[in-house]
Amino acid sequence: MKDDESRTKEIIKVILLVIIVFAAVYAVFLLVTPKSVDETEVEDILSETAEETTLPEMEAEEPAQDWNEYSSGEYDLKYFNDWFLEEEGDFITISSWDPIVAPELSEDGVRFIVGKVKTSKTLEEYVDEYLVQNVANDPSYTIAKREVSVLDEEPAIIIVSQTALEGGSVIYSLFAKKNRAVWSIDFVTNEESPENEELFNAIISNFNFN
């Protein structure tokens, strides 16, 4: 009887030992075996990482404008190197076409006219009189814009006007008073547009009194 009980206890010990060993082996197996990951989860993770590391788009730098320089002794200015400059007294004309070689291009081209008129009038008085005369001489003349501005730190007035004469024109004009004279920069083109306004601003920003 005692032999039977001893044998039973031995069997139980062996079974418990086998269970413990099996559990230990299974635990080691779980530790060293890589866990499977759902392919969809992997794609989501990669997508999120790509979004986070996407570099911002860089704006292309515009090429530097090539300029010609002009000096009258009273002022300096820069104008586009493929344009043409003519002098006549106190005025200069800068044209996008060659008025001598191809005068017929004047209808499609644009031009700047820069000059001065000596006057005892204030800037506001001169501009008001200028506008009144234009309206009186040209019934189609209309004013699209009038605003205060600056020309090389001098107070200025900008006028944008339109006329139906000579096939129709839009004129960007800037007036500034200095040394008992009113200086004017007129940009004559065929339409009012952001591109033409940029051309006008490019010229006046490169104008300096001496």
pLDDT in tens, 160-202: 999 998 788 999 999 999 989 999 999 999 888 999 999 999 9
Task: Pick from 17-31, 32-46, 79-93, 105-119 the range whose average pLDDT is largest.
Answer: 79-93
Give 39-54 pLDDT, tens digit per residue: 454 355 444 433 443 4
Q: Which domains does the chain have, with CATH numbers?
A: 2-53 (no CATH), 67-209 (3.40.1000.10)
Task: Pick from 2-6, 96-100, 167-171 the range whose average pLDDT is largest.
Answer: 167-171
Q: Select the more confidently predicted residue: 132 or 7.
A: 132
Indicate whether 145 pLDDT > 50: yes
pTM of the model: 0.66
**Residue 25 pLDDT level (bands cut at 50, 70, 90):** very low
Look at residue 4 in the predicted model and tell me its pLDDT. 53
The percent of residues above 90 in pLDDT, for the chain, comes to: 55
**Residue 11 pLDDT level (bands cut at 50, 70, 90):** low
Mean pLDDT of 27-33: 48
Indicate whether 15 pLDDT > 50: yes
User: How far, in Å, are 111, 162, 185, 188 from residue 108 at the CA level?
Assistant: 10, 16, 20, 11
Look at residue 23 in the predicted model and tell me its pLDDT. 53
Which stretch of 22-36, 44-58, 65-79, 85-99 has the lowest confidence by average pLDDT?
44-58
**How far, in Å, CA of 47 to CA of 87, rounded?**
65
Helix (H, G, I), strand (E, B) or coil at 95: strand
Cα 117 from chain centroid? Answer: 36
Look at residue 98 in the predicted model and tell me its pLDDT. 77
C-beta neighbour count of 197 within 10 angstroms: 14
| Exposure string over 177-189, b if 16+ CB within 10 A, otherwise e | bbeebbbbbbbbb
Task: Work out the mean pLDDT of the chain and round it to a whole number.
Answer: 78
